[in-house]
A and B are shown apart, each in its own frame.
Chain A
């Protein structure tokens, strides 16, 4: 049953590529946002926090629609990028990356923030008395201790990204080999007469991937906890 067609394998590989690039490119921004929220207090912090978390609760279709408005090549930022740099997101796999990155950004940011906040501030004080300045402390004490949490957040975001559907289909459509990721392939199979078997195969594959990566995320954190405590 699990022998996949070339098109299905193509959808799997595209999904993996879109999700990896989305997670890796969102990571630095998620890290900066997490650091800001974990370490600084400023007016309007609650609002910033809410906006950064919004992709968790917004309808993905709405996000896709907004992206289409902003990054469509006819107007706005999209037109500017296309005319001056030749960068085009719509109907392109990079658009799927952009949509996935935005929608899974809060998963990463949340995990990083929690792991930064869980690093004992007393260790920072100890490092100070031993002569370590702010960046030194961050680089050598806070970051290594937060890293397992960061990794777990990235893996969770990756797993979530594999399931992204609404924003991708709205923003970059359903183009085989370009934007037809696993969920879009399942949807396509269901629209095709006699495609139920293919849909079942792809759905089973999606579930398997989700379980594998969620288990991996948990294992990373458990292993770190066992080593550090």
Chain B
């Protein structure tokens, strides 16, 4: 599965000039502040905007090629687009909305696949309702289902959570995770919220002022290594659940160490995405004893980065895994921290993305 995007477009004072490709399945986040050109890119991929130059191809299927004068109509692109404002058809109930694209698809999902999508997104009870009687979160889920059931070869999510409040967002994110883990098609996820990207993305394309500022894995993104825009948020670790101990903790292993967390209720062998915020990591020069934290990792300092006048981010390597700690510049001086030196990282808390049963895990 490969997607190749090159777009040049000028609209008044705003110039868009981006190129990126993705050869892996999974979620690619288009991340950047508003006005960076994210929405224009997804609209161009869907065909709702015709760029002035460039080429867009999915798996070698050319959707747009300015030089070859190819411009496939939107209707023939098989690109699913979930709009920020859901855009459900107000005169149809949820069921007819869901099946709108399905009825027009060349290769239709089977009845059991439809049932599965309805189940995945929790839409069963909503089917007879009109969109006017749905909450914002429910509308987003229906819009997702509608796009999925049209059997697209690529799914574009244009800030599907931006119109929702924090509570609704946290309701939808687990559905998006399940979608990511089950979807067969690649997903482009437009967002300006780092949290969402850390939770959902596999790869990140960072955009700014109509240009690609950097791209890389979500691990690079967490470490603040893509572009100038995003400060280190911490670390994203792909961990494996080893098993439950009888002291109430479960052991998660990752290249370079292990973490213990309260029982997860998941079976051993499960892959989990673990996030550790830079704020939740303390540093010590000597191995701390008599400490309440369960997780003390041995690491080596790979870089020290000053932020503003008082803060510093210390980048760590723990075996093959990257971590980051946000401390004060005063502490960094007091501990005489230097690149290459060993250090103990005390992890105060971790965030487990609960539904992140990666499809990859099943393959391995």
Q: What residues of chain A have their CB less than 8 Å away from a CB belonging to chain B?
A: 120, 122-123, 125-133, 136, 141, 144-145, 227-229
Contacts and interface: CB of A to CB of B under 8 A. Distances in A.
Contacts of B73: 128
B196 to A, nearest CB: 22
Interface in B112-155: 130, 132, 146-147, 150
A122 B90 contact: no
A129 B48 contact: yes
A132 B100 contact: yes
Given A132-B75, A229-B90, 19 more contacts: A123-B89, A127-B89, A128-B47, A128-B48, A129-B47, A129-B80, A129-B81, A130-B147, A131-B75, A131-B105, A131-B150, A132-B104, A136-B104, A227-B130, A228-B90, A228-B91, A228-B130, A228-B132, A229-B132
B327 interface: no
Nearest to A147: B91
A220 B336 CA distance: 77
B74 A128 contact: yes
Contacts of A123: 87, 89-90
25 contacts: A120-B87, A122-B83, A123-B89, A125-B87, A126-B81, A128-B47, A128-B48, A129-B46, A129-B74, A129-B79, A129-B81, A129-B150, A130-B100, A130-B101, A130-B150, A131-B75, A132-B75, A132-B100, A132-B104, A141-B89, A144-B91, A227-B132, A228-B130, A228-B132, A229-B132
Interface of B: 46-48, 73-81, 83, 85, 87, 89-91, 100-101, 104-105, 130, 132, 146-147, 150
Given A122-B87, A123-B89, A131 B104 contact: yes
Contacts of B130: 227-228
A228 B81 CA distance: 23
A196 to B, nearest CB: 51
- Of all A-B residue pairs in the complex, the 10 with the closest CB atoms, nearest first, are A130-B101, A131-B104, A126-B87, A128-B74, A228-B90, A129-B81, A144-B91, A130-B150, A131-B75, A122-B87
A130 B92 CA distance: 15
B50 to A, nearest CB: 13
Interface centre among A131, A144, A145, A227 (most CB of B within 10 A): A131
